[in-house]
Structure 1
Amino acid sequence: MKQHAVFLMGPTASGKTAAALAVASQFPVEIVSVDSALVYRDMDIGTAKPTATELASCPQHLINIVSPEESYSAAQFRSDALTLINEICRRGRTPILVGGTMLYFKALHDGLSDLPQADGALREEIEQAAREKGWPALHTDLAELDPEAAARLNPNDAQRIQRALEIVRLSGQSLAENYNKRSPLDETPLPFLRIALEPSDRAVLHERIAQRFDAMLTAGFEQEVRKLLTQYTLSPNMASMRCVGYRQMWEYINGEIDFEQMRFKGIAATRQLAKRQITWMRQFKQTWPEVQTVDCLQPDHQAQILEQVSHWALQQQ
């Protein structure tokens, strides 16, 4: 079977899972999750993970594959996704890659830059400096080494500041110079149908985000995180605990903020995530041919996706 795949991209709360399952009800597909939070076991409520019934309704991959104590990189995703695409196509099915981790989509589609490998000693040195001076101070340090990279980062974005400092200090080059090292041979020469779910009214998406966060709280999100903290050896700097919602719940459980602050910060962080995801998709439209945009707020958006998948699937036969 010829290798091919469908991309179904969208911001958080845009209805990606429901749309993918609608496709699965009509076509022989298998879903590959493109979500850096769904990879973690026992993180179900705060990640809006598909329910047991939804997971059983269609083969779904790259969900519940690592411990919250572990990390999972874009390079690992790319390798796993390419293997899965090949296996799914061999089974005579269509892989549909669904999620909102846009870096993963880009890694799969365009390949990866030849970045320096993580250095444990340097990372600990950076984290220790952050504990002593705070991340805004390290953001200032980054600005001295790479002003362009620092200008794109929030002074409190610990994860990105840490990695940027690590790359610049290990390589002696700017972030842009490192990212430009990727070879065109790394690009994935597969036919993709690229569908972007995008809301026509950002305010409606924001209301969905707030409603979903409140539903998570009602469903026992706090209890889930408390259980994680007893079941695993975790720290706030781990990738799993930097996930939107989990970071704010950690602060609440640790007594750093009260419940209302946690709720406010959790919803605000999720809105910021959605904003970044939409920005990514708009950039994709400039560089990738034929990205199909579907308004996720339209009542017939699932029917539109089904029609596009049906037409494209016929072309791949």
Structure 2
Amino acid sequence: MRSAGHLGGRNSTGGTSAVRALLIAGPTASGKSALALDVARRRNGVVINADSMQVYRDLRILTARPTKEEEAAAPHRLYGHVDGAVNHSVARWLADATAVLSEVEAEGRLPIFCGGTGLYFKALTDGLSDIPAVPDDVRAAVRAACEGRETPELHARLAACDPASAARLRPSDRLRVMRALEVHAATGRSIAAFWDTRAPGPLSGDGVEKVFLAPDRAEIRARIDARFLAMMEAGTLDEVAALAARRLDPMLPVMRAHGVPGLIAALEGRMSLAEAIAKGQADTRAYAKRQVTWFRNSMPGWRWVEAREARDWVTP
């Protein structure tokens, strides 16, 4: 793997490169947050969350949000600012992120976007499709019709009314299949028609450093398993119990965070705690694999760095 060089180093003509923003992505447990904090402290930066689960205030431990001590060491934004009852979306995140980006730039600080949600980074650089908002009553009707039905059945229903988007979605991707059904119900149009039209993102163009931390596969699997056990010791079962007590819609993103379904099942006696832990670890490992595959296939132009080399990449 080629060396990543240094942030803000010298370019090929000998001049100093100007960095407008730094994007740090990678699979879960790859060391993104530690690197972002290191850069923020060295470069007068602000760490801005780009992880779809770390936006929720209900799950600080289970989603590995920065600790209070880490947040005190450098400014952090868009962490834990959304209630679990909210069906947060990439569009809402992009609106928040764009506002924060303007504030950070006005302060003369370096914006450091850090996370593992590929669609958030893609929205930053490539923009979002202009999909109309789905009225609440339409969304509720679609969800009621989908309740109790297996995801492949919903995908087949989507294929019948919107074959173009069904062909581009995995039959197991329940959230996006339901989103496509909602958009079709609200507009009568395929969501794929909106995907293909988008305005540039707020960080399109030059001056953006993009790095993907790519740890060894065996190493990341071991880290994930160990971290999940550490989370259990830190009190994540109590955290999930408090979330379960809210009786939220099980289709909400926060209720589908890796570890939540299994731990709720354990709390309700439908699964042993050991089984729930193993499920949480396995689901997280599978997610990390998908993150790597998605970035490799969907995000050209990113610099891939071995996690252990990342600190050398930061200018002292």
TM-score (norm 1): 0.85
Match of 1:226 in 2: 241
Q: 1:294 aligns with which of 295, 300, 305?
A: 305
- Asked if the contact 2:158–2:166 (Cα under 8 Å) also holds between the matched residues in 1, the reply is yes
Identity of aligned residues (%): 38
Partners in 1 of 2:235 and 2:256 — Cα distance?
19
Structure 2 residue matching 1:95: 3-state secondary structure: strand
Match of 1:313 in 2: none
Match of 2:149 in 1: 133
**Superposition misfits of 4+ residues, deviation over 6 angstroms:** none
Alignment gaps of 5+ in structure 2: 1-17
CA RMSD of aligned residues (A): 2.4
Alignment gaps of 5+ in structure 1: 311-317
Partners in 1 of 2:95 and 2:206 — Cα distance?
14
Structure 1 residue matching 2:258: 3-state secondary structure: coil
Q: 1:170 aligns with which of 179, 186, 193?
A: 186
The correspondence of residues 188-227 of structure 1 with structure 2, limited to 5 A, is 188-189=204-205, 191-199=207-215, 201-227=216-242
The correspondence of residues 150-169 of structure 1 with structure 2, limited to 5 A, is 150-169=166-185
Match of 2:267 in 1: 253
The correspondence of residues 1-317 of structure 1 with structure 2, limited to 5 A, is 4-147=20-163, 149-184=165-200, 188-189=204-205, 191-199=207-215, 201-230=216-245, 232-286=246-300, 289=301, 291-296=302-307, 298=308, 300-304=309-313, 306-307=314-315
Aligned residues: 299
For residues 201-228 of structure 1, give each alpha carbon's deviation from its aligned partner in whole angstroms, at most 9, with x where no partner exists: 3122111111111111222211111123
| Residue 152 of structure 1, CA deviation | 5.0
Partners in 1 of 2:186 and 2:109 — Cα distance?
43
Partners in 2 of 1:283 and 1:51 — Cα distance?
32
Structure 2 residue matching 1:133: 3-state secondary structure: coil
* 254 and 142 in structure 1: CA distance in 2 versus 1, 3 angstrom threshold: farther
For residues 45-100 of structure 1, give each alpha carbon's deviation from its aligned partner in whole angstroms, at most 9, with x where no partner exists: 11111111111000000012121112322122222222222221222211111111
Partners in 1 of 2:177 and 2:266 — Cα distance?
24
| Residue 18 of structure 1, CA deviation | 0.7
Partners in 1 of 2:148 and 2:113 — Cα distance?
41
| Residue 169 of structure 1, CA deviation | 3.3
Query: Which letter maps to 1:87?
Result: E
Structure with greater proportional helix content: 1
